[in-house]
Each structure stands twice: as C-alpha cells, then as structure tokens.
Amino acid sequence: MGLRKGRCFIALCVVGLVICGLGGAEGGDIVHDDSAPKKPGCENDFVLVKVQTWVDGVEDMEFVGVGARFGKAIVSKEKNANQSRLTLSDPRDCCSTLKHNLTNEVIMVDRGKCTFTKKANIAEAAGASAVLIINNQKELYKMVCDPHETDLDIHIPTVMLPRDAGSSLEKMLTNTNSSVSVQLYSPRRPVVDIAEVFLWLMAVGTILCASYWSAWSARDAAIEHDKLFEDASDEVLNAKDANSSSVVEITTISAVLFIVVASCFLILLYSFMSAWFIELLVVLFCIGGVEGLQTCLVALLSRWFKRSAQSFVKLPIIGAISYLTLAISPFCITFAVVWAVYRDWSYAWIGQDILGIALIITVLQIVRLPNLKVGTVLLSCAFLYDIFWVFISKKLFHESVMIVVARGDRSGEEGIPMLLKIPRMFDPWGGYSIIGFGDILLPGLLVAFSLRYDWLANKSFQAGYFLWAMLAYGLGLLVTYVALNLMDGHGQPALLYIVPFTLGTLITLGKKRGDLRVLWSEGEPIRPCTHVRLPPADDESRQGHRN
C-alpha cells in the first residue's frame, strides 16, 4: 500500500508540472506579425525563404531567411526560381548609389542606417534581381515600411538573413576565387500533413486505452466491494480504504486551485525559461515516464507472470514491491535515461512519445472525476486557461506565453518535453506536429468517467455515453487541426474546441436521457443492494402485524 501511495504522489506531482507547463497550444514555424501594418506596395505576408547556394556550379549550403512586407513576392516552387550570381554591395550598407552595375545579380548588403526600402530602391536602380540584407543579430527581423513612406514601387524581392548566414556567405565570396550563385524560393506547406493524422490517432488511442483500463479497475473494485460486503462489515471498511489509497478523486476546490497553480507555474516557466530549467523539466518528465512505463508494463505482463506479480519483497525506504516490478524497473530507468541523453537525435521523439503515453495512461488510471459537476468545473477552467495564455496573454506580454513556453523559444532548446510530437513528413520546412499532455489528460478524465458510468450502469454501447464522448473528443481535436491549418500556422488552443465538444455532448445527452442529475451529483448509478437481506419474521411478529 505504501508503494501505491508513493506512485500516486509521484504521478500527481509530475502531471501537475505537465499540465501547468503546457495546457495545449500548437503553432507552426511560419513568421507572423499581425501588429505590423500593411499598406499599398507594402502588403506582403511574412514568409520564410530558402536561400540555396552553389559554388562553381556545385550545390553548397542552404540558409533560411524571412521575406519583407514590400517588393516582389517570392516564388513558391523551386523549379520556378532562377539561379543568380551573388555579389557584395559597394558600399556595404547600400545607402548610397552603387559603384557597379548589377544586372540580374543578387546583392548582399549589411543592415545600416537607412531604411530597408531605400536599400531595395538603390539595388533595383542598379539592376539587381534581389536583395539579401544581413542582420546584425543572430535572430531574424521582420522588414516593414515606415508609416509615412510613399516610394514603395519596388519590383525585386528582399530577404533578411541572420548574422551567421551572412558570415558564411561572405566567406564564400571573399575566401575563394569561385563564382557563388543563389536561388530564392518559399515553398508552401501542405494543407494536411500525415503527421497530424498519426498524432490524432495517438491522442485518441491513448484515451481509449486509459478509459478501458480505468473502467475495468472500477468494475473489479465494485465487484470486490460487493463480495466483501456480503462477508463482513469490517472488511468493507478495509476495502474502502484500499480503494481510496489507489485512486485520487478530484474535488471542485482542487479543480479550481489546480488551474490557478497551473497559471502561476506557466508564468514561472515563461520568466525563467533557460537551458537549466529545461534540464530540470526533463528530469521530472523522466521520473513520471519511468513510473508510467513501469505501471503499464507490469499491468500487461502480470497476465503471463502471475506468480511474480503476486510475490513481494520488502525493500528499505520503498517498502513492499513485487518481483515483476523489480525485474522491469531497470529497463524502464535505462529507457528514460537513454532518451534524456540522446533527446536531441532525430528519432528521439519516439522515446518521448512512449514515455509520455505511458505517463498519461497511468495518471488517467489513478486520477478520477467523481461526477460531472467536478468535470465541468475542471474543463471550464482549463478552457479559459487555454484561451487566456494563448490569445489574451499577447496583449500583456507582447507574445503568446503558451506558445513561447511550448516551443522553448527562450531556452535554446527545442521545447519542454511534456508533449507528444511527430516530425512533419511532407513539410518542406520540417519541424514537428505537437499536442500538449493537457489536451489529452483533461478531456481524458471526462471520457474515462463516461465509460466507468456506462459499465456500472450496464448500459449498451450505443445507449451509453462513452461512444459519444469518444467521438466528440476525436471531432474536437480534428477541428483543432482544421483551425490550425486555416490560420496558416497561428497557435491554436486545442481545449478551445475540445471542451465544448466533449462537455457539451455529455451534458446534452444526460439531460435528454434523464440521467443528468445522477451524472452531475452522484457520478455513478444507484445500484440495488442485492446482498442485504431482511431477517425472516417469526409467527408472533406476523400475528402482531395482522393485528
């Protein structure tokens, strides 16, 4: 029992960090800036641009820049992009008339004192076919027009590159006597990437597995409870204690406090986001992942190794632990450590997803909603939490706090590990499709609750609530991806769509079927106490009853 309590404590601590760190935001890598004004001649969308180089006709390095608001739009297909000779500007800042004619050449200039549009106008007047402006910082800068500018009739594309890319290009031009040419194009992302389909299946499958495991456990506990009730009342109390030690039920107050603490922790992550903070989160994620993977493997293997699962050994500090758990633990620990060490590798996402799914399933097995009332409070608060930290936080912090934390923009790392991700398979820009643990855990609590109710109420598949809750979750997540693509990669809070679908479906069905009162307050059907028997009445009592 002590071991089980320890597992609950560890899992709950980690899931708290999980949901606090990422309630559920998804975003693309396309550059956006809605605050930058558009005007005639300066109304291009900000797009990422690939700059492919060739040295003496041999393909060389590729760089990524960002296109300007002004100038000619950059072609999207590589086959339509022309190769042009690259040359350095003279003067370097291109703020005065150039000394050489640049017919059909791409000119590379430094970011100087004059405006970006002036550089482009001077380069176009000299015959250049495009302008590469090298930033004086490692980051990219969005090139916009001044509010009072009128000379915006620019017909060549302008692209900004980071400082490191400029240094590499300058070495190519100055350290060799070779000819350097470049090709500019901005490939578009596919409307739907197959990675999003697999991510949808992973999320739905995780909730499906966790719900059935939770329902099986609840039904077995109910059956065992009834058996013990028939035997002795003292044993009933012991059964209740045993059941309460393995399951943690959320209350209304704890649901509200959970979201409040989640917001505080998100601010902490945003304020102190750094490499060492990411390392700390990786350690916590590994602890939860080891516990989750161990719990799932023990549950699966105990069917074939019943004797090892039911035989225990007492260890110092840890307490009683089964031989099967003892045998599996080294593998789980090694798996998590190997992932943590090599998490920057291209295939490390597989290990992260395995640990994450195992953790989610374990938490959904341990943490439960007692009724629909608590579920409504929890999901409603999470709904507001997601909207605030994805959209409204932009006005307070000048950027979306949720998306910055999810992607780890300030840490120099790829992002926090508390999410499932799959690399985009047909996206020319690469990257990952992601979904936060909160987008699976929070709705998963409600879906698992619906299946437990169906089984305890002996409802059929269609007459129950689980089928419709599962369909509502899948549809809500699907709408999230549709919105993400329609918004061209703008970050979208998944709970904005999932919560109305899942919660609305259960409340509507419950009211229509007349079960809403029981779902709202009781959380499980009222079962007849078939094991309670009245003592047989004797003759005198029967006679007295007649009189």
Name the residues annotated as catalytic.
386, 439
For the purposes of burial, counting CB atoms within 10 Å of the CB of 313, is it exposed (0-12), middle (13-18) or buried (19 or more)?
Answer: exposed
The whole-angstrom separation of Cα 254 and Cα 259 is 9
Residue 156 in contact with residue 127, Cβ under 8 Å?
A: no
How far is Cα 498 from Cα 67, in angstroms, rounded to an integer? Answer: 35
Question: Which token pair is 533?
Answer: 């028997």
Dist. CA 372–CA 250, nearest whole Å: 11
CB atoms within 10 A of CB 249: 13
Question: Is 74 in contact with 52 (CB distance < 8 Å)?
Answer: no
Determine how many CB atoms are found less than 10 A away from the CB of residue 406.
Answer: 25
Please state, in angstroms and as integers, the Cα–Cα distance from residue 256 to each residue in 380, 382, 389, 513, following that order.
9, 9, 16, 29
Torsion on CA atoms 202, 207, 211, 214, rounded to nearest 10: 90
Cα separation of 512 and 50, whole Å?
56
Q: Which H, E and C letters describe 367-415, residue by residue?
A: EECCCHHHHHHHHHHHHHHHHHHHHHHHHHHCCCHHHHHHHCCCCCCCC
Handedness of CA 218, 220, 223, 225 (dihedral sign): negative
What is the spatial distance between Cα 450 and Cα 99, in angstroms, rounded to a whole number?
A: 75
Cβ-proximal residues to 436 (8 Å cutoff; 6+ apart), any chain:
22, 23, 24, 25, 26, 406, 418, 419, 494
